[in-house]
Amino acid sequence: MKVLVTVKRVIDYNVKVRVKSDNSGVDLSNVKMAMNPFCEIAVEEAIRLKEAGIATEVVVVSLGVKACQEQLRTALALGADRAIHVETDQELESLNVAKLLAKVIEEEQPGMVILGKQAIDTDNNQTGQMLAALTGMPQGTFASKIVVDGDKALVTREVDGGLQTVELNMPIIATTDLRLNEPRYASLPNIMKAKRKPLVVKTIEELGVSIKDHTKLLSVTPPPERQGGIKVADVAELVDKLKNEAKVI
């Protein structure tokens, strides 16, 4: 079985986000970029499926600017076999990403597609679900466990209030949640080896997918700042304040 994994290049999760003074967006100049943490979990899961003998090939895909190839090389160093880069300088909305990925799926015919549940920049949490709808493949979103059993997959999902397990007919779309696995680090020899693994670059035109804007970003502003309050001396004062000043207990 071939497993297709998607990775997104985003701001590193340790970087403090600053809104541009003209409110046009977030300042990304000279900021450290990295693979989206939920995508790291997706790559790890695919590699584990290969190590377990369930997956035969792991193909990693990224869409965006040329520099996305850094994240694709990282995925190759972690153990993916080959990479596809859909290169564009356009900002791609989730629906457009899903349409382009649907085309890649049509060409690659994977048995499973694994995506991060959301990217930590736009926080949309929708590309995987859109891809499932466009391809007609069943979805196991927010997965904390994926078990392949013949032509079915059992996916345990993190839902409000607990865990839910669904049985899906292969091929499937899965999106990763935090508890699915703990991603590994790439070793230096593997980073060197990754440079020789195949990476194909395609354009939106080559994929033959027509896309258009569905939303317009009007402004990006910093969130309202919450003012700090006071320090209390001891527990007695805290209880008194909560009872008589804030009146919340």
Partner 1 sequence: MSILVIAEHDNESLKSATLNTVTAALAIGGDVSVLVAGSQCQSVAEAAAKISGVSKVLVADNAVYERQLAENMLPLIVELAAGKTHLLAPATTSGKNIMPGVAALLDVAQISEIISVESADVFERPIYAGNAIAKVQSLDAVKVLTVRTTAFDEAELTGAASIEVVASVCDAGNSRFVGEEVAVSERPELTSAKVIISGGRGMGNGENFALLEAVADKLGAAVGASRAAVDAGFVSNDMQVGQTGKIVAPDLYIAVGISGAIQHLAGMKDSKVIVAINKDEEAPIFSIADYGLVADLFEAVPELEAKL
Rounded to an integer, what distance in angstroms lies between the CA atom of residue 66 and that of residue 70? Answer: 8
Among 12, 107, 167, 206, binds partner 1 (CB under 8 A): 167
- Give yes or no for residue 52 binding partner 1 (CB under 8 A): no
Stretch that binds partner 1, among 42-50, 81-89, 159-167, 198-206 (CB under 8 A): 159-167
Q: How far apart are CA 26 and CA 22, in angstroms?
A: 10
Enumerate residues 29-48 that contact partner 1 by CB under 8 A: none
Task: Identify the CA nearest to 63 among candidates 206, 194, 216.
Answer: 206
Residue 161 has which token pair?
């209030």
Hey, which residues does 200 pair with through a beta bridge? Answer: 84
Residues 196-215 within binding reach of partner 1 (CB under 8 A): 213-215
The residue range among 10-18, 55-63, 72-80, 103-111 that interacts with partner 1, by the rule CB under 8 A, is 10-18
Nearer of residues 73 and 103 to partner 1, judged by Cβ: 103
Q: Nearer Cβ to partner 1, position 124 or 187?
A: 124
Q: Does 190 bind partner 1 (CB under 8 A)?
A: no
Q: Tokens at residue 181, please?
A: 């696995």
Tell me how far apart the 2 most distant CA atoms of the chain are, in Å: 69
Torsion angle defined by CA atoms of residues 7, 13, 14 and 15, in that order, rounded to the nearest 10 degrees? 100
Can you tell me which of 56, 165, 187, 203 binds partner 1, judged by CB under 8 A? 165
Does 133 interact with partner 1 (rule: CB under 8 A)? yes
> Interface with partner 1 by CB under 8 A: which range of 62-70, 106-114, 192-200, 222-230?
222-230
Distance CA 166, CA 153 (A): 8
The reply to whether omega before 171 is within 30° of 0 (cis) is: yes
Pick from 30, 53, 231, 244 the residue near partner 1 by CB under 8 A.
Answer: 231
Burial class from Cβ neighbours inside 10 Å (0-12, 13-18, 19+) for residue 32 reads exposed
Q: Which of 2, 82, 145, 179 binds partner 1 (CB under 8 A)?
A: 179
CB 1, min distance to partner 1, A: 17
Q: In this chain, which of 121, 145, 184, 191 binds partner 1, going by CB under 8 A?
A: 121
* Minimum CB distance to partner 1 smaller for 69 or for 175: 175
Instruction: Name the token pair of 51.
Output: 């190590």
Q: Which of residues 56-115 bind partner 1 (CB under 8 A)?
A: 93-95, 98
Helix axes 68-78, 37-51, angle to 10 degrees: 30
